[in-house]
Structure 1
Amino acid sequence: MDIENSVALVTGANRGLGRRFAAQLVERGAKVYAAARRPDTIDLPGVIPVQLDITDAASVARAAEIAADATLVVNNAGTSTGATLLDGDLDQIRLEMETHYFGTLAVTRAFAPVIERNGGGAFLNVLSVLSWAHPAGLGAYSSAKAAEWALTDAVREHLAPRGVQVSALHVGWMDTDMASSIPAEQKTDPAVVAELALDAVAKGQPEIVADEFTRTVKRNLSSAPRG
């Protein structure tokens, strides 16, 4: 994937990791559509703000029309309600799945033909260590991320013959406002994660594991379930 000459759409680009992705893509020479539910919150120079709510079909369709020259999509937008599965609010649990699974799927379905028409390119899906580890206290989030991981693997196989690669980024806690309650020493710099991930996409890597904690969890996937 030629990052320097790419045309990228980054979802959730107004803060956190998405903002770092958008900034680094601009630095690397890409044309960047920075998408957010409120485009007025995007303050990065050199990007094209786009209104996008990935849970709204009409919003996704409009974004695909605006960014009709896209060759790279970073599916980064997400939410974290903290809902548990047995006693959490069902609307919040549904929001997690609507965002991480159905929202990512909607963007992928809208932009796959766009990228194919433009000669091929890539999707980068921002997943989580919680795609693999499923603590009870984050049951809704980890379930949605596990579903998004399965989605990523399935569409990778579907899109490969069409010249579209699909990469999955698995990462633990990052120094963003979503993880503001986590001690600093447990968090990774999101700028480092964005750089590592874009380098991996450029090399065509299907899976990117961004930190040692996530690597440890992956190594232990065959262990007996807890509890």
Structure 2
Amino acid sequence: MTTIEGSVALVTGGQRGLGRAFVHGLLSRGAAKVYATARRTVESNDPRIVPLTLDITDPDAVEAVAAQAGDVGIVVNNAGALFPGSLLKADMADVVATFETNVFGALRVARAFAPILAANGGGALVDIHSALSWGAGAAAYGASKAALWSLTNSLRIELSGQHTQVVGVHLGFADTDMVKAMKVDKLSPEQVADAVLHGVEKGESEVLVDEVSRRMKAALAGPVEGLTVTIGR
């Protein structure tokens, strides 16, 4: 269980879409300060929001941000990438870039901030997965989110000794620029952020935000054919 009121948080990809909703959700629950990272930052009129430039695929940039944000007690690993195309036909560079952001970038952030969270009492690490973590047919994006899910489960064990709450988040689609062209049902970013932050405060290790993610998780016990989705073809 992590207390948000009075806390200092950091949200990667925190100036657009879902990340911005997390920033404002944290503040509405009483966070004292939120570092909002982005590749290209925009200044905020709210003194509680501290913009930081960050490309999570750049190890030096991740370390630089960690050096500036040593007071953080909550980290939301939100930054992500989605490139269209199938595994066999997409540009291989796009597949690599997907994993660089969604897997290795998130892990870089976790590694850089784990000592900071420990020094500040444990806190919480929140990783944003997807219901597509459990579904075949989502190409590099689904595969990368499956890898992140596995990493999160291992990080939960590795960080338990320092009392860091590690929260894995699954959802279908949030209404953000990344998926604006997709004709599917979408949650508002605010709905997602509220459900996740509620889970953080309740001490949960996994948050299934919507019925889509709950159905996909339940289907893991069934045949693989029941876990097929189609995007980006």
TM-score greater than 0.5 by the shorter chain: yes
Specify the SS of the correspondent of 2:203: coil
Determine the C-alpha separation between the residues in 1 that align with 2:172 and 2:201.
22
Q: Contact conserved, 1:83 with 1:93, CA < 8 A, in 2? A: no
Q: Letter of the aligned partner of 2:160 in structure 1?
A: A
Shift of 1:91: 0.5
Q: Contact conserved, 1:14 with 1:43, CA < 8 A, in 2? A: no
Alpha-carbon RMSD across the aligned residues, in angstroms, is 1.3
For residue 164 of structure 1, what is the aligned residue in structure 2?
164
Q: Which runs of 4+ in 1 moved over 3 A?
A: none
Determine the C-alpha separation between the residues in 2 that align with 1:172 and 1:151.
20
Q: Contact conserved, 2:44 with 2:50, CA < 8 A, in 1? A: no
Q: Contact conserved, 1:60 with 1:107, CA < 8 A, in 2? A: yes
Shift of 1:222: 1.9
Shift of 1:44: 6.4
Cα separation, partners in 2 of 1:44 and 1:84, compared to 1, 3 Å: farther
Shift of 1:216: 0.9
Specify the SS of the correspondent of 2:5: coil
Determine the C-alpha separation between the residues in 2 that align with 1:32 and 1:44.
13
Specify the SS of the correspondent of 1:152: helix
Determine the C-alpha separation between the residues in 2 that align with 1:195 and 1:183.
24
For residue 231 of structure 2, what is the aligned residue in structure 1?
none
How many residue pairs get matched? 223
Shift of 1:83: 3.0
For residue 200 of structure 2, what is the aligned residue in structure 1?
201
For residue 13 of structure 2, what is the aligned residue in structure 1?
12
Q: Contact conserved, 1:133 with 1:217, CA < 8 A, in 2? A: yes
1:117 aligns with one of 106, 116, 119: 119
1:96 corresponds to 2:95: no
Q: Letter of the aligned partner of 1:59 in structure 2?
A: A
Determine the C-alpha separation between the residues in 2 that align with 1:97 and 1:83.
14
Shift of 1:34: 0.5
Q: How does 1:1-227 map to 2 (within 5 A)?
A: 1-30=2-31, 31-40=33-42, 43=44, 45=46, 46-135=48-137, 138-183=138-183, 186-226=185-225
Q: Contact conserved, 1:83 with 1:141, CA < 8 A, in 2? A: no
